């Protein structure tokens, strides 16, 4: 049985691949992008099964109109995929106020508003699934990505709460956490002017590693998207889907270290309670 999807950020990367693969198997897709024309080739091939609209995640009124129009045009939408976003690469001191606003308004507030707009539609139709594309950076952190991590840790916390609020309406959530992959994410990083004071710090070391191309990107976007589709199609979805061996290793190490630290504080935690 074919499904109908609403996907943000479809002009490139995971959004484009997901759209291509779903259309190829006969599904319908409502695709959003910031600049028109990027999906003209798919529209010419798949016709009415691809519905396209421009949408700016930082414009909540426009965003809501796009979600409303997609449901009105296609009727039932089975899966809403929050994929659009971008990266900001620089230390907390280096990034500008405008860059901070942009990354949080896009990755965090924009994603929140898509979910808020979709919930009543999915509830009225008896349920559906919402997929939030996050990152391994929603569970762990690297220097130079502090604001990007703020957006990803923030949206994951939001989803953790909302999924409990709407579960009884038949609305399910999946958080997808890809690791480094061979997409254009790195090329699209917004980068403030670097400060020399950070050259001999972990931030400077990471910056040099990225600029030199020393980091090997093992993640295969095609395989990652195939795993996403397979997981979303399954009768039972996990709460999170980590993609890529590097992501798995990094998240496993990060969560294990946090759990070890928590358990070491058990007696301190319980000592802060009133006596029974």
Q: What is the pLDDT of residues 34-93, one digit of tens each?
A: 888 999 999 999 999 999 999 999 999 999 999 999 999 999 999 999 998 888 999 999
Question: pLDDT-based confidence at 184, cuts 50/70/90?
Answer: low
Annotated active-site residue 134? The verdict is yes
Q: Does 240 map to a domain?
A: yes
pTM of the model: 0.94
Q: Does 265 map to a domain?
A: no
Q: Does 67 map to a domain?
A: yes
Annotated active-site residue 43? The verdict is no
Asked if residue 188 has pLDDT above 80, the reply is no
Asked if residue 276 has pLDDT above 80, the reply is no
In this prediction, residue 21 carries a pLDDT of: 97
Question: pLDDT-based confidence at 158, cuts 50/70/90?
Answer: very high
Q: Does 257 map to a domain?
A: no
Q: Does 141 map to a domain?
A: yes
Q: Which residues pair with 175 in a beta bridge?
A: 132, 240
- CATH (domain of 222): 3.40.50.720
Question: pLDDT-based confidence at 183, cuts 50/70/90?
Answer: low
The enclosing H or E element of 31 equals strand 28-33
Number of domains in the chain: 1
Among residues 121, 146, 152, 181, the one annotated as catalytic is 152
Of 110, 92, 103, 89, nearest to 186 by C-alpha is: 89
Annotated active-site residue 86? The verdict is no
Q: What percent of the chain has pLDDT over 70?
A: 97
DSSP per position, 116-168: HHHHHHHHHTT-EEEEEE--GGGTS--TT-HHHHHHHHHHHHHHHHHHHHHGG
In this prediction, residue 85 carries a pLDDT of: 86
* Host domain of residue 68: 4-245
Q: Does 43 map to a domain?
A: yes
Q: Does 272 map to a domain?
A: no
Among residues 134, 146, 151, 181, the one annotated as catalytic is 134
Among residues 121, 148, 151, 198, the one annotated as catalytic is 148
- Mean per-residue pLDDT, 242-248: 95
Q: Does 271 map to a domain?
A: no
């Amino acid at each position: 049985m074919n499904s109908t999807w609403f996907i943000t950020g479809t002009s490139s990367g995971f959004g484009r691949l997901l759209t291509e693969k779903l259309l190829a198997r006969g599904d319908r897709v409502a695709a959003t992008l910031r600049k028109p024309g990027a999906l003209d080739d798919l529209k010419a091939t798949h016709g009415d099964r691809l519905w396209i609209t421009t949408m700016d995640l930082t414009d909540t009124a426009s965003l809501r109109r796009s979600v409303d129009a997609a449901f009105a045009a296609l009727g039932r939408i089975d899966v809403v995929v929050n994929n659009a976003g971008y990266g900001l690469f620089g230390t907390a001191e280096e990034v500008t106020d405008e860059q901070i606003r942009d990354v949080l308004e896009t990755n965090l507030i924009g994603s929140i508003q898509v979910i808020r707009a979709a919930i009543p539609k999915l509830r009225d139709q008896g349920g559906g699934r919402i997929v939030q594309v996050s990152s391994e950076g929603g569970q762990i952190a690297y220097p130079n990505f502090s604001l990007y991590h703020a957006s990803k840790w923030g949206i994951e916390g939001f989803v953790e709460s909302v999924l409990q609020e709407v579960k009884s309406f038949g609305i399910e959530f999946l958080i997808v956490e890809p690791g480094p992959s061979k997409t254009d994410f790195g090329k699209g990083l917004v980068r403030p002017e670097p400060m020399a004071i950070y050259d001999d710090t972990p931030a400077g070391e990471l910056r040099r590693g990225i600029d030199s191309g020393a980091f090997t990107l093992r993640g295969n976007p095609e395989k990652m998207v195939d795993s996403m589709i397979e997981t979303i199609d399954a009768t039972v979805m996990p709460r999170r889907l980590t993609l890529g061996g590097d992501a798995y290793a990094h998240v496993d190490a990060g969560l294990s270290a946090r759990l070890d630290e928590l358990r070491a504080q058990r007696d301190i935690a319980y000592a802060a309670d009133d006596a029974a």
